[in-house]
Amino acid sequence: MCGIFGIVKEKEENLGPILIGAAERLTYRGYDSVGMATISGDKIDLRKDVGKVDTVAEKFNISEMSGQRGITQLRWATFGAPSQVNAQPHLDSDGLMVGAHNGNVVNNIELRQQFIEEGLTVRSENDGETCVHAVERYLKRGYEIIDAIRLAYGDLAGDYAFVLGQANDDKLYAMKKGSGLVVGIGDDFTCLSSDLPSLLPLTREIIRPQDGEIIILSHDQVELRSVTDGKIIQRESEIITESMDAVQKGGYPHFMLKEIHEQPQVARELHHLLDDSSELDSIVDKMRNARNLYLIGCGTSYHACISGSVALAQIAGRAAIPVLAPQFISQFAPTVNHEDVGIFVSQSGETKDVLNALAAAEVKGMTPFGIANVIGSTLTQFTNSCLPLGCGYEISVPATKTFTNQVFIFLYLAHKMAGRDLDELAGIPVLMEKTLAMVAPQVEELASTLENVDDMYTLGYGATFPIALEGALKLKEITYAHCEGMLSTEFKHGPLSAVTENYPIIFVAGKEDIPLIISGINEVTARGARAIVIGPDDERLRANADDLIVIPDAEEQISALLAVLPLQILSYHMSVARGVDPDFPRNLSKTLTVD
């Protein structure tokens, strides 16, 4: 999740400390490289590299940079590995314009090839540079800057916000399409940023641009224009009163809750990324023709692998073996060869158990692919191809948006392998938004009744089995209560003995499996248990369950994905009620780099 900041002053001054401060306030979004540019007269000073803000600032004496306008960018790699050349901002062909973006331009590869054929100087693989050239091509054709931006907006597919400045100009220009952008107004300056934290120490007066708007910053005014027709848009400014901490969390009390609510948007952005991936056809072809296909991960990523295995079987008719990474080494690695394919899944791309399994597989000649959130991580470097999760930085230790995007990728692969219309998945983000709105009040009330519970089960079947496992993991991670996830039909084979009066058991019900789930419900309620069901609005479930958390009606695999959202929210509210910080539970780390 990149971050951009730009500022316009009346005359040249020392901007380095301002740019460094803004960058530091954006670091919580996550990044792998940083760059800053200042513009004054006909001079553009650009300094950037891989590394942390303080390291890059010291290396390039950024505190001494001066100019009338300045831009800084923190990059989270998506297109192009982390490197100095891929770091942002970027220059145009002649070094007379500089710009940076936040988000993803999903037709980046196609546009880069067009720019090369048109004779523009393309220096990197990064889509931030693509934004600069998208404007440059129209300037070279004789268009004025506003019209050039309008035309570029039509060429750039995806979700992004972009800022640029030209030599021999006194303004900055920006455009917004699906990615965050906020404008600030000060006494003698204007500025903009991907989000509020980098603005608040400078000003509390802000304007919120909308998608499809061009922003023109002068030192003493802000002008908004429509991308459609270039006409001026009037919008009043507002005054921000929230604290810095509250703003970083988007107004949510914890990062976990913020990240739960980010899931629809990151799923939407991932769909765009996958639609434009140049590697998917090759990956799917290898998967289709593999002798054996393995899905390998740990913890939450392993649960996504199980979900992927069910999806591939039910949608594409392809068997895939989900396996915990350490167990893969002893159980499967001795038998694999060059005809086999493994998909190694890790949020961080640095999970030691997964990397150990990858090393064991490569010794035997297996073809390895990856799924990771951090481009440039070890997993992305040592697999043949690695699909990005596109979630940005996930600060809270419990995985939420990275899990749902992992499941989304497997659904996408299954649909592509089956030759099904990929637009069938386009409705998932809207269904996720609907689910969050529907379940939030009821789940919060449910959490208050379970606040003192120290032992429970979550049960699922078929597509909902891995969701039950993931829900149980979330409850264990951040409530410190014991919760075991199981296949619902296995509960009678021993664990049923644990049931006592009012013992809570959560069933995750798929539409096709309701009769089987009802059988399980009655097994436990006959012994006094409290049966809580997450599933579709069905009279049979209402008649048999003590509590029914209704999710929107959807196809079986998509319904299962939606069902994890109430489990995430339940875990969150129980955690808070029990006095646990859900963002940083004890004994756990976001990235496990030990055996």
Q: Which residues are catalytic?
A: 2, 590
* Angle in degrees, 0-180, between the axes of helices 401-418 and 428-449, rounded to the nearest 10: 140
Strands (DSSP E) found in 314-379: 321-324, 341-346, 367-372
Contact 312, 318 (CB under 8 A): yes
Half-sphere exposure at residue 29, Cβ-oriented, CA atoms within 13 angstroms: 33
Q: How far apart are CA 462 and CA 319, in angstroms?
A: 14
Distance CA 191, CA 184 (A): 5
Angle, helices 556-577/428-449, rounded to nearest 10 degrees: 40
Q: What is the DSSP letter of 559?
A: H
What gap in Å lies between CA 311 and CA 318, rounded to an integer? 9
Q: Cα 200 vs. chain centroid, distance in angstroms?
A: 25
Q: Which two tokens stand for residue 309?
A: 């295995």
534 contacts: CB under 8 Å, gap ≥ 6: 506, 507, 508, 509, 549, 551, 563, 566, 567
The CA-atom distances, in angstroms, between 493 and each of 56, 419, 464, 488, 513 are 59, 39, 19, 10, 19
DSSP E strand stretches across 466-525: 482-487, 504-508
> Do residues 542 and 570 make contact, with C-beta atoms less than 8 angstroms apart?
no
Radius of gyration of the chain (CA): 25
Tell me if the bond preceding 89 is cis, omega within 30° of 0: yes
Residue 72 φ then ψ, to 5°: -130, 155
Tokens describing residue 271 = 């769909």
> Which of 383, 424, 428 has its CA nearest to residue 405?
428
Contacts of 229 (CB under 8 A, 6+ apart): none
Interstrand relation of 482-487 and 455-460 (parallel, antiparallel or unpaired): parallel
- Phi and psi dihedrals of 581, rounded to 5? -80, 110
C-alpha distance from residue 363 to each of 274, 327, 333 (Å) = 30, 16, 9
